[in-house]
Structure 1
Amino acid sequence: MKFATFRYETTQDRVGLVTDDDRLIDLSSLAAENDLLQFVTTHQDSLAELGERIEQSELPSYHTSQVQLRAPIPTPNTLRDCMAFEAHLVNCTRTVAKWKLPPVALADRVCERVFGRGFLRPPREWYRRPIYYKGNPHSVVGHEAEVHWPGYTEQLDFELEFGIYIGKQGKNIPASEATGYILGYTIFNDFSARDVQLAEMQGRLGPAKGKDFDTGNALGPWLVTPDSVPDPYHLAMSVRVNDELWCETSSRDMHFTFEEIIAYLSRDETLYPGDFIGAGTAPGGCGLELDRWLQPGDVVELEVEHLGKLRNRVIRAH
């Protein structure tokens, strides 16, 4: 099932059920305070039955093209983003090496051709635990929202990601039980001021202004419940910029599963309903890996199997 937060002809948020023919059934009369998180968590154990009743009801509905889609949970409690794909980190390291240390980049390519594996790898610690950072939940925007190009960067980048919302409170959650804490999935475009990020992280901390700017976290288009995602670790994923295909990849090679990530994050720290956790960038899913860069006015569309399409235009705001 797919649920959305949307606006129709007003600035008031509403909760909707998304049908297979791209219509939104308005659940305002059923959802207290028009809060998607509260609605889905309240009915979590009977969603399938509820969905059938809703689709057979006479509640008002709109085509998705008629409404403004907000992020599923417009302001998550927290926003954590991991780096669960080894190939993403390897590809980014290779691009930076190509810029700054061309002989090293060449040697790595030769090593990969000869031995099937280059030497520019993540540090050992990366393989031991799911590294993450905390982003700003107040900079979240939704599908079709404009993303403002920060005035301090020349290299605004996209990141093809997906992630989960936590559905119930928990602490010290075993990985074997963590699936039950996943409320649903959505697509995440973690826009990044790449030149600033690379400079900041030389100080052994961050990312800071490389990630923190208004409208920098795009989430959507809706929340998809786990019953509609047969295997989150084999999802086809792609990026299009101005309708041109830039990347085709998948979620297949996550080094850590969401269940393992939940177990790690909840060590002596309580997770709450509405927390968002990103998996990190899928292999090939950002401009830094491809050494291709966005320009003001570009439209970035991320697509993830079963989760839909998330589209945003980047604009100069300064």
Structure 2
Amino acid sequence: MRLITFKAPSGTGNGVHVGAVDSTGTTAVSFTRASAQDPRFASMLALVRAGGGVLDEAQSILDSHPADAAYDLAEVTLLAPLPDPPRFRDCSLFIEHLAPAFLGMARNLAATAADPEAEYARLVATGDFDLPAVFSERVIYYNADHLSVSGPGAEIVAPPDTTHVDYELELAAILGHTATDVPVTEAAEAIFGYTIFNDWSCRDLQTEVMASRLGPARGKDFDGANAFGPWIVTADEIGDPYHLKMTARVNGETWSDGSSASMHHRFEDAIAYLSHGRTIYAGEILGSGTVLSGSPIEIGRRLKDGDEVELEIEGIGVLRNRLRLAH
């Protein structure tokens, strides 16, 4: 199923609904309305946490729903499919992206120098922009802001202290189990579904704060910075998540083209690592990190005010947002 969180058109049952897109791809079916306010369908987080046979019941509603629970998909407002994750961690499962990204940050720092090429060579020679071996040795992650979530169609408004914002093309997994010490061989069973994640990043701010060696911090910390959507595709429908084409377009032009097959670590590795001696929770989101070429910092390009960014992942769909820059 393609599970959605949406607002119905005005005058047709206002409020936030949880539901799914039907097989025609043209109708949004509200589980919230069709189930007579069953608390398991009160929110996407409630649905994920319900476990058991809730997806079977959801499929039954999708197959035979009352007429007043169906809406024209083109007329509803899609929200982030899981607007309130209890926790969100972005992992570096793709590592090929990192080396050119770090060098891109060095080039940005050098751009204002009297001799940019000489300054770039000096920065690279320091070794500060090399890819540390630890990224290939274990799953590196940071705790992202689970309160700064946006959805498909949302306008991404950059904070006033940045002039350089990038998209990052990522796959995200939603966990369906609360558990501890999950073996890697059983970790796939903990994945509820997948969605697209755009990890919007203020590169100028990120480059400054990463000198602290404490992560991207303010560079990825602003309202709406974590965009998800357009829906959650359940794990059974995705099949193999490690052979999905991943594409980014800016104003219709392809800028990034990659595949989930290039992951160095897998979500199962991340789940086993994160749950070792610790608890993972149903409804958590795990980002994959950025696919190779999946951000303008790698390819020497730059977004401008008003650009429309489309991230597409095979088997999921398209996440579309427009960027607004204050400068």
Per the TM alignment, residue 48 of structure 1 is displaced from its structure 2 partner at its CA by: 4.9
Q: Does structure 1 residue 221 correspond to structure 2 residue 230?
A: yes
Q: 1:110 is matched with which residue?
A: none
Q: Distance in 1 between matches of 2:319 and 2:273?
A: 28
Query: Comparing 1-10 with 149-158, which one deviates more in the overlay?
Result: 1-10
Deviation string, structure 1 residues 15-65 (Cα, Å, up to 9, x no partner): 111123222111113242621232244355463574155223334212322
Once the two structures are superposed, the pairs formed by residues 193-204 of structure 1 within 5 Å of their partners are 193-204=202-213
Q: Distance in 2 between matches of 1:40 and 1:274?
A: 6
Per the TM alignment, residue 13 of structure 1 is displaced from its structure 2 partner at its CA by: 1.2
Out of 11, 35, 46, which is 1:38 matched to? 46
C-alpha spacing 1:279/1:309, structure 2 compared with 1 (3 Å) = same
Q: 2:132 is matched with which residue?
A: 123
Identity score, percent: 40
Per the TM alignment, residue 285 of structure 1 is displaced from its structure 2 partner at its CA by: 0.5
C-alpha spacing 1:44/1:311, structure 2 compared with 1 (3 Å) = farther
Q: Distance in 2 between matches of 1:39 and 1:79?
A: 18
Q: Distance in 2 between matches of 1:125 and 1:39?
A: 37
C-alpha spacing 1:188/1:144, structure 2 compared with 1 (3 Å) = same
Q: 2:30 is matched with which residue?
A: 26
SS class of match (1:252)? helix
What are the ranges of 5 or more consecutive residues in structure 2 without an aligned counterpart?
111-115, 122-128
SS class of match (1:289)? helix
Q: TM-score, normalising length from structure 1?
A: 0.89
Per the TM alignment, residue 83 of structure 1 is displaced from its structure 2 partner at its CA by: 1.2
Q: Does structure 1 residue 16 correspond to structure 2 residue 23?
A: no
Per the TM alignment, residue 237 of structure 1 is displaced from its structure 2 partner at its CA by: 0.7
Q: 1:6 is matched with which residue?
A: 6
Out of 165, 177, 196, which is 2:186 matched to? 177
What are the ranges of 5 or more consecutive residues in structure 1 without an aligned counterpart?
107-119
Q: 1:313 is matched with which residue?
A: 322
Asked if 2 retains the 8 angstrom alpha-carbon contact of 1:41 and 1:183, the reply is no
Q: Distance in 2 between matches of 1:290 and 1:281?
A: 13
Report how many aligned residue pairs link the two structures.
305
Q: 1:80 is matched with which residue?
A: 89
Per the TM alignment, residue 291 of structure 1 is displaced from its structure 2 partner at its CA by: 1.4
Query: Comparing 56-65 with 204-213, which one deviates more in the overlay?
Result: 56-65
Q: 2:64 is matched with which residue?
A: 56
